[in-house]
Amino acid sequence: MAKSMALLMIMALSYFTAIANSQVKNIFLLAGQSNMSGLGGVVNNTWDGIVPLECSPNPAILKLDAKLQWVEATEPLHADIDTNVTCGIGPGMPFANSLLNKTSFLGEVGLVPCAMAGNRISQWQKGTFLYNQLVMRAKAAAVQECGVTRAMLWYQGESDTTLLSNANAYKGKMQQFFTDLRSDVGIPDLLIIQVALASGTNYTDIVREAQLNPDLANVVTVDARGLELHKDNLHLTASSQVFLGHMMADAYLQTISTTS
């Protein structure tokens, strides 16, 4: 009798815990250029269709689609957002899977894809198309009562490595963008997890330097140096994207473990 009561209580407890968890949608904004859209597994503008295990769909991983509806997330995550390129594997799905895999308290993960191939940081300044789109989608995602915006994952900069003037302006524009975004989504300390570029064209080091030393609170940088690229020498392979997704998830978990 006592045993079955205890069992019942455990069942009830896990039931309510499950409900409490499923009610929290942990929202992550995804922005930047093609490596964030994800061109892993794309060769000659064709995606090979291979979805690594770490990028598998999961009913607890949702994405805000182009019509602003929450749907179950599947690769290619950016297919309906970055429509000018052929998308493949990016860091978003392995990031989300890794979070769910390493924690039990998280509830749902809501990904908000907003990346677009081939843009410079000046195209993300307040008032631009991409900026407005990002803010609009971020607000639409957070409108739900139980949605909590946790961080933005940011992977950009290659297009700013070609001209010296762009590379030199990178740091200031990056800081301005992050500051404006935080203000416009109403989260002054919004966590930003960004990627330091491994290579670019002429002035990679200047952009990298800015990314590695953002001089802004709550900006965490993970380094893409050493990750394998496709033969185009321009985009991370699918397995590199999986690795990067895990690095970003670890960076996130480390941040919340030191602040809570």
Residues lying near ligand NAG in the complex (CB under 6 A) are found at: 33-35, 43-44, 53-54, 56, 83-84, 97, 101, 116, 158, 162, 197-202, 224, 227, 229, 234-236
Q: Which of 160, 235, 240, 246 is catalytic?
A: 235
Nearer to ligand NAG by C-beta: 23 or 202? 202
What is the closest distance, in whole angstroms, from the C-beta atom of residue 157 to ligand NAG in the complex?
7
SS (H, E, C) the chain: CHHHHHHHHHHHHHHHHHHHHHHCEEEEEEEECHHHHCCECEECCEECCCCCHHHCCCCCEEEECCCCCEEECCCCCCCCCCCCCCCCECCHHHHHHHHHHHCCCCCEEEEEECCCCCCCHHHHCCCCHHHHHHHHHHHHHHCCCCEEEEEEEEECCHHHCCCHHHHHHHHHHHHHHHHHHHHHCCCCCCEEEEEECCCCCCCHHHHHHHHHCCCCCCEEEEECCCCCECCCCCCECHHHHHHHHHHHHHHHHHHHHHHC
Give yes or no: 235 in active site.
yes
Nearer to ligand NAG by C-beta: 149 or 161? 161
Nearer to ligand NAG by C-beta: 120 or 171? 120
Nearer to ligand NAG by C-beta: 182 or 252? 252
What is the closest distance, in whole angstroms, from the C-beta atom of residue 7 to ligand NAG in the complex?
28
Give yes or no: 82 in active site.
no
Give yes or no: 78 in active site.
no
What is the closest distance, in whole angstroms, from the C-beta atom of residue 194 to ligand NAG in the complex?
11
What is the closest distance, in whole angstroms, from the C-beta atom of residue 224 to ligand NAG in the complex?
3
Catalytic residues: 34, 232, 235
